[in-house]
Amino acid sequence: MGFKIIKGVSENKLPRDIEYWKERDIFLDCRGEIDIHPSVMFGFNIYIYTMSHDKNDYRKCYYKTVKIEKDVWICSNAILYNCTIGEGSIVGMGAVVRSMDVQSCTMVVGNPARIIALFDKIERVWKYL
């Protein structure tokens, strides 16, 4: 297993100590901005990208922000790019969340990611669509 950061980010800016990231084999592309709340839970083998190429001119690069809010669970093998994951949400195993905002208390799965459940805060249960 390994842990890779593309372009330097201070270990002090990571919400957990460096060992947490290493043991989960998480890839962080920090060429754009990454904002991760300290309460976020991660599975293993996760990729977070902040840069992509122009499909018409590979020499042009786009830098995008990935924001992961409070109490989110990112399951193993997920890929995130240019997205916001709202508070209390779950990104299912192997999901590809690209260029979208996942609203709070939402569960997404698949490639591309799609909504499969919403958390009912009153009944405190996930309601599948």
Task: List phi, psi (to 5°) of 76.
Answer: -55, 150
pLDDT in tens, 4-16: 665 655 455 667 7
The residue ranges of every structural domain in the chain are 4-128
pLDDT tens digit sequence for 84-114: 999 999 999 999 999 999 999 999 999 999 9
pTM: 0.89
Q: Which CATH class is domain 4-128?
A: mainly beta
pLDDT (tens digit, 9 = 90+) per residue, 15-49?
Answer: 777 778 778 888 888 888 888 998 999 999 999 99
**21: enclosing H helix or E strand:** helix 18-24
Closest CA to 111 of 86, 88, 81, 87: 81
- DSSP class of residue 19 equals H
Q: Characterise 69 by phi-psi region: left (phi > 0), alpha (psi -120 to 50), beta (else).
A: beta
